[in-house]
Amino acid sequence: MGNVHSFEDIGKKIGRDEVYVAAIFYGQAKPSKEELEKLSAVLNLPESHLKEELGESYYPDRGGLISTVPTDPLLYRLYEIIQVFGYPLKAIIHEKFGDGIMSAIDFSAKVEKVENPKGDRVKITLDGKFLPYNKW
């Protein structure tokens, strides 16, 4: 199927977004049987190897990658963004939607490169369903 150079390339070839594909490789998403078949073809790997690692008995340990403040500079900055702007974002979400959370299950993410003469920009879009807290 040709050379594959990026998560975006793989995603296009299996019909998934690059962020979802990266999540598979970092153990944060469980690929379907069909996705494993496509990954096998795209990556030129035996399907049996992928099924052994990511097949029916595999379940992701979502969110289990980091238990302390990350030391990787990019991950630390994302953590810092939440530390500094988390409560302001939470307050605005509550103002606009009410008391609840943004789903990380009914969710998608997108990373875009925005060219700028002062230096290229990183644009991250997090799109999650709003889930109001139940009252009983």
The catalytic residues are: 77, 80, 103
Asked if 93 contacts 129 with a C-beta cutoff of 8 angstroms, the reply is no
Residue identified by tokens 């980091």 is: 66
Q: What is the 3-state secondary structure (H, E, C) of 60-77?
A: CCCCCCCCCCCCCHHHHH
Distance separating alpha carbons of residues 21 and 6, to the nearest angstrom? 10
List residues bridging with 40 in a β-sheet: none
